[in-house]
Amino acid sequence: MPLAQNWRRRGKFEEVAFIFPNAPTIPITVNFQMKMPGWYDITTFNDLQAAHDEVGILRSRDYFNSLVAEEVAKGIPSTRIVVGGFSQGGAMSLFTGVTSPLKLGGFFGLSAYLLLHHKIKDFVPASLPNKDTPVFMGHGNADPTVRYAWGQQTAAALRELGYGVDFRTYQGLQHSADPEEIDDLEKYLLARLPPLGEAGVSKA
């Protein structure tokens, strides 16, 4: 929320509505089954890419898609919608973007990784609506939680599938974000969601 407020104070994205969904409270295996906010269960921190709560991931993906559908129903073109997030939210955003049945304006993941990477092709629509949709990824090379290598591997996997990924590395950054990364994200969003006054209403 503070990020969106900061952009508002600087006169950025004045035509954009920011939606920040809250993850449901679910039992998390690595937290001794104690309940905490999570888009899906995590069974181990040793290799997040090997721990796939497929039911939880697909449930959250469907919820993300429902949020997109609600905006489209209000008259917002899907190409003016960007899905993104940090950590679990970033992982869900990448998965949602790749598997979305609608053409999106963009999708990004910060300190994120590709969910269900071993069978991702099974979930990608045959029409490939987002194959030409630019993807942004940012990752600190000192991240002890979502390893930097996982981010690199995710970018490589998406590129292998034909997606254009702008993967940015942030030196010394752990599992967090920093001003340089936020600046890069801002540039990405400005390119994906230009003010309608400049882009022309006919393009929206």
List residues with catalytic annotation. 87, 143, 175
HSE-CB at 79 with a 13 A cutoff on CA atoms is 11
d(CA 166, CA 114): 15
Q: Are 133 and 191 in contact (CB under 8 A)?
A: no
35 token code pair? 């309940």
Distance of CA 125 to the CA centre of its chain: 18
Q: Residue 51 gets which letter from DSSP? A: -
Radius of gyration of the chain (CA): 17
